[in-house]
Amino acid sequence: MQNIISGKWDTAVKAAEKLLHDFNIDVSAQTGRNVLKKQKKNLKFAKMHQHWTINYWNRVIWADEIKLNALDQLEDFGVGNQKEKVYQTELSHGVGYLIRIDRRLDEQLYCKISEDELMKTLEYNEMEKDSTILQQDSDTKHPSRKAKKCLQDLDIHVIQWSPQSPNLDLTAYPWDVLKNKLISYQNPPQGIHE
């Protein structure tokens, strides 16, 4: 990618040819274009927020809905593939409410969760709505008109998040820690409810 950014490889086609010839990596020119578009968006996001202070980042609530299978790494031990879906929030100084989702998360349910659990999280953590910033991924229900209006009515500001930024997804980290702890047990749990 440095060769593309520096202009050494001036087209995606040329980059694909050089990757195949020099490194035996077979990628299409379109894949190169997609990677560059993503990197361009990530760079734009980084430049927009490079001067944010710790105090500013402390105002961010990190929110995500995930399919949780705490035992997925234990399948080698014969544990089944039982999944739970949850919506969670995290803050710089703790966690917010965790809600189990037992149906498809559509924009209507997303708004209900925002109106209930998100507001409870703010209240519990003594955070002001008008100074709070919500981070959410680019799932299709988040930028919907209904969801935007709901958050606007709640007086919640939303950060324009860089797409596909897994290393910035703080909500995944605690689950990775949990999975690693479960794997280390001499007698691993036999199901998700243990």
Strands 94-101 and 84-91: antiparallel
The predicted pLDDT at position 133 comes to 93
User: Above 90 in pLDDT, residue 139?
Assistant: no
Is 45's pLDDT higher than 60? yes
Query: Do 171 and 65 meet the contact criterion of CB atoms below 8 Å apart?
Result: no
Give the residue-averaged pLDDT of 123-148.
85
pLDDT value, residue 77: 39
Q: Which domains occur in the chain, in start order?
A: 2-49 (no CATH), 54-184 (3.30.420.10)
pTM value is 0.69
Residue pair 129/154 in contact by the 8 Å Cβ criterion: yes
Percent of the chain with pLDDT strictly greater than 90? 21
Please, where are the H alpha helices in the chain? 2-5, 12-23, 29-49, 54-57, 107-113, 119-124, 145-153, 173-184
CA-based max dimension of the chain? 58
Mean pLDDT of 82-100: 82
